[in-house]
């Protein structure tokens, strides 16, 4: 049904633009994510700045910074709706899929901004190899997609829980661990000079994970949202 799809696109866009606008006015998520990312990068730089680290260690450090920075702000997009009492209005006026997809794209934008700032700094602070940068970017983009795909539903869950605290990281970590292992391994390989062909299995894994997580989220989100 193309008509209803076009309708959904507009609704998704409305939610996404609204969240972007709120974010630009409060800058809560951006501030949190940057403070977290830059603090942890600084710690890394101070502690290991001069040491020549293997690409294996560097890739682990990189994804640890990205993962925990993301954790600091990605639940906000749902928590904000619940805490300001606007979730009810949203629930009454639009379909769950529009909310989920709008928030998914918002989180994606937040994370893209994060890696766009963190990655150059990471290359400056550490001696991560600059060759193979195109392959690295591909791995990075897939990683960002994976992080968003898995955490947006969890953000919706914790926004509905009575105690939030560290719950977001607690719930996300086990689901993302396989992805993080593969991401670290793929980043290590492209930094060590592997071609895309050599890491294609890993890339397929990352892509399959995005597809499965988004599909599962679309099926499950309405239960979380409308309960």
Partner 1 sequence: MWWKILLFLVMSAVIVTGFITEAPQKQIGEASRIFYFHIPQAWLCVVAFAMSAFYSARFLKNRKLIDDDYALDTARLGFIFCLLATITGSIFAKVTWGAFWNWDPRQTSIFILLLIYGAFFALRSAVEDEDRRATLSAVYSIFAFVTVPFLIFVVPRMVTSLHPTDSVIDENLKFTMGVQVRSIFFSSLAAFSVLYFWMLSLTMRLNRLKRKQMTGTD
Partner 2 sequence: MISSLNLELRQGESVAITGPNGSGKTTLLKLLLALLRPSSGKVTYYDDDRVLSREELRHRISFVSPYLSLYDQLSAEENLQFFTAVRGGNITGKNIDSLLLRVGLDGRGMDLVSEYSTGMKQRLKYAVALSNKPDFLLIDEPSSGLDDSGKAMMTALIEEQRAGSIIIIATNEKEEYSLASQQCRLDQ
Q: How many positions of this chain bind partner 2 (CB under 8 A)?
A: 24
Binding at 94: pick from partner 2, partner 1, none (beta carbon under 5-8 Å per type): partner 2
3-state class (DSSP) for residue 212: helix
Distance CA 152, CA 107 (A): 7
Q: Report phi then psi at 52, rounded to 5.
A: -85, 110
The answer to whether 133 touches 173, Cβ cutoff 8 Å, is no
Structure tokens at 113: 């901004």
Distance CA 103, CA 20 (A): 10
CB of residue 226 to partner 1, shortest distance in Å: 9
Distance CA 62, CA 67 (A): 9
Residue 223 in the binding site for partner 1 (CB under 8 A): yes
Q: Which of 95, 112, 123, 167 binds partner 2 (CB under 8 A)?
A: 95
Q: Looking at 43-51, 66-74, 84-92, 195-203, which segment touches partner 2 (CB under 8 A)?
A: 84-92
Site for partner 1 in 149-168 (CB under 8 A): 153-154, 157-158, 160-165, 167
Residues that bind partner 2 (CB under 8 A): 7, 10-11, 13-15, 18, 21-22, 25-26, 84-86, 88-95, 98, 226
């Amino acid at each position: 049904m193309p008509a209803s799809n076009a309708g959904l696109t507009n609704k998704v866009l409305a939610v996404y633009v609204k969240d972007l606008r709120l974010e630009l006015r409060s800058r809560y998520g951006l501030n949190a994510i940057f403070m977290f990312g830059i603090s942890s990068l600084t710690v890394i730089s101070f502690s290991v700045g001069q040491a020549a680290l293997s690409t294996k260690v560097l890739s682990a450090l990189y994804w640890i910074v990205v993962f925990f920075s993301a954790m600091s702000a990605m639940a906000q997009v749902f928590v904000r709706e619940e805490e300001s009492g606007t979730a009810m209005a949203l629930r009454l006026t639009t379909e769950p899929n529009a909310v989920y997809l709008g928030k998914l794209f918002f989180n994606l934008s937040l994370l893209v901004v994060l890696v766009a700032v963190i990655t150059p700094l990471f290359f400056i602070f550490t001696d991560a190899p600059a060759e193979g940068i195109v392959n690295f970017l591909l791995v990075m983009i897939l990683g960002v997609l994976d992080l968003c795909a898995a955490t947006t539903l969890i953000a919706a869950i914790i926004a509905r829980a009575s105690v939030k605290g560290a719950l977001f990281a607690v719930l996300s970590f086990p689901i993302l661990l396989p992805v993080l292992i593969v991401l670290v391994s793929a980043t290590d390989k492209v930094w060590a000079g592997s071609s895309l062909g050599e890491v294609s299995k890993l890339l397929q894994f990352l892509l399959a994970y995005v597809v499965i997580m988004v599909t599962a989220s679309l099926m499950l989100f309405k239960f979380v949202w409308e309960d």
